Amino acid sequence: MNENARLRSVMNLTQTLIDKAESYGAHNYHPLPLVLRQGAGAQVTDVDGKQYLDFLSCYSALNFGHQHPVIIRALLNQLQKLAVCSRAFYSEEFGYFTEELAAFTGLEMVLAMNSGAEACETAIKIARKWGYEKKKVDPNQANIICFENNFHGRTVTIVSFSTDPAYREGFGPFTPGFKIVPYDDPQAVEKAIDKNTVGVFIEPIQAEAGILVPQTGYLSQLRNICDKHQVLLMVDEIQTGLGRTGADFCYQHEKIKPDLLILGKSLGGGLLPISAVVGPRSVMEVIRPGQHGSTFGGNPLACAVARAAIQVLKTEKLSERSLVLGKKVLEKLREIQSAQIREVRGKGLLIGVELEPSAGGARKYCERLAQEGVLCKETHDHVIRIAPPLTISESDLFRGIEKISSIISET
Ligand SMILES: *Cc1c(COP(=O)(O)O)cnc(C)c1O
């Protein structure tokens, strides 16, 4: 590096902040080289004042965009009253939140946690306990059926049934009690079920695995299999829920109901973490006082934000919006003429563009797109994930899609 270049980089705020993060932050992520300062709706601005369209939406935690004014107002309003009080007491917000989320999902009871992984762990605990108490499974022999390429978070138990070596290597010993079968193959599930099976734990679209959309009818077939064998259908809608796929919940495309519904990400309105497991009373009642908990789970601030998030989803008709815009985006992307594209797939505004291995990986496309002012993130090497906020204006959406089209076509 010559002296001028060195001085430029020393004076460059972006580089300084990246250097700090790389020096003092553990290297558990590999971010694109930009440093964000502000966001509003679908737009974010970096510390150099450059603007971008956010087509990642924090992996679907930002279905409502950045800093949604109605949700911010709910947060500020609650912040001035009561933020945190533990579940040792009832709070005003908790009662309203559980009632409204139960009504919104058409299920009966809510268990609130903070992160998505915690909610998945909670669902596993509930399913096991239900198995021992209600299904009379042999003591300590419960098993849950999971899927190849699943993603449910990063705790030791959850990575115990991951099939991605990067998520597992060096983290053993693992939690037993999981059987892994291929995704999108109902017979494989039925074959794996035995008398100690308590749950089938599934993502209705495998988003982290590269936006893998199963065949139509798959979930309803699983519903029937679970009913037949008295097994809980546990649906992880942390990423697909709250409008992302063009319905309030992705399972609604198949007109079924899960036994345990797991929510997170956008439930926090894009402002803070809150997650939940929702299910029927007959299942949820197996958890009694003292058997499970979380200090911050169901805190009034998070409950107020989640209530506002559900309200915004309804009043702005974001699920319908996602459905309509998603169809248009799929059409546009399918028009791209490029030998580098293997497949374009998705539902609503959860879309993946899978590139041929010869394209050299999706990362370099995401880097080029960032230079052009569109933020996407590769998932599983060869897929560009497109998941803008559901509130994005049509003009911003198609401006971004144009950029994606031109960058893919120029290679
Ligand atoms: C993000 C995600 C999780 C984990 O949520 P965290 O809040 O990161 O713990 C679990 N399941 C799915 C489908 C997810 O997308």
Residue of the CA atom closest to atom 7 of ligand 1: 116
One-letter amino acid for residue 136 of the chain: K
Active site residue 161: no
Reply yes or no on whether 265 is catalytic. Answer: yes
pTM of this prediction? Answer: 0.96
207 CA distance to ligand 1 middle (Å): 10
Query: Could you tell me if the CB of 152 is within 6 A of ligand 1?
Result: yes
Report whether residue 151 contacts ligand 1, using a CB cutoff of 6 Å: yes
Tokens encoding 326: 């998603």
**Does the Cβ of 238 fall within 6 Å of ligand 1?**
yes
> What's the maximum distance between 2 C-alpha atoms anywhere in the chain?
73
Residue 153 CB–ligand 1 contact under 6 Å: yes
Residue linked to tokens 């999108």:
184
Ligand 1 site-directed mutation target among 29, 59, 152, 379, most atoms within 8 Å of CB: 152
β-bridge pairing 51-54 and 374-375 = parallel
Distance CA 238, CA 258 (A): 14
Half-sphere exposure of 288 (CA within 13 A, CB side): 4
| Rg of the chain over all Cα atoms, to the nearest angstrom | 22
Query: CB neighbours (10 Å) of residue 302?
Result: 30
Write down the pLDDT at residue 7. 58
Residue 151 appears among annotated catalytic residues:
yes
pLDDT value at position 214? Answer: 98
CA 128 to chain centre: 24
CA distance 408 to 411: 6
Nearest protein CA to atom 15 of ligand 1, as residue? 239
Instruction: Kindly state if the Cβ of 204 falls inside 6 Å of ligand 1.
Output: no
Is any atom of ligand 1 closer than 6 Å to the C-beta of 379? Answer: no
**Residues whose CB falls within 8 Å of the CB of residue 397, separated by 6 or more in sequence, listed in order:** 42, 325, 329, 388
316 touches 310 (CB < 8 A): no
Cα of 152 vs centre of ligand 1, distance in Å, is 5
Rounded to whole angstroms, how far apart are CA atoms 15 and 154? Answer: 29
Give me the sign of the Cα torsion angle 131, 149, 209, 117: positive
Which segments in the chain show pLDDT lower than 50?
none
Probe residue for ligand 1, chosen from 124, 242, 265, 267 as the CB with the greatest number of ligand atoms within 8 Å: 265
Q: Which ligand 1 atom is nearest residue 275's CA?
A: 7
For position 81, what pLDDT does the model report? Answer: 98
Q: Please classify residue 145 by burial: count the beta carbons closer than 10 Å to its beta carbon, then call 0-12 exposed, 13-18 middle and 19+ buried.
A: buried
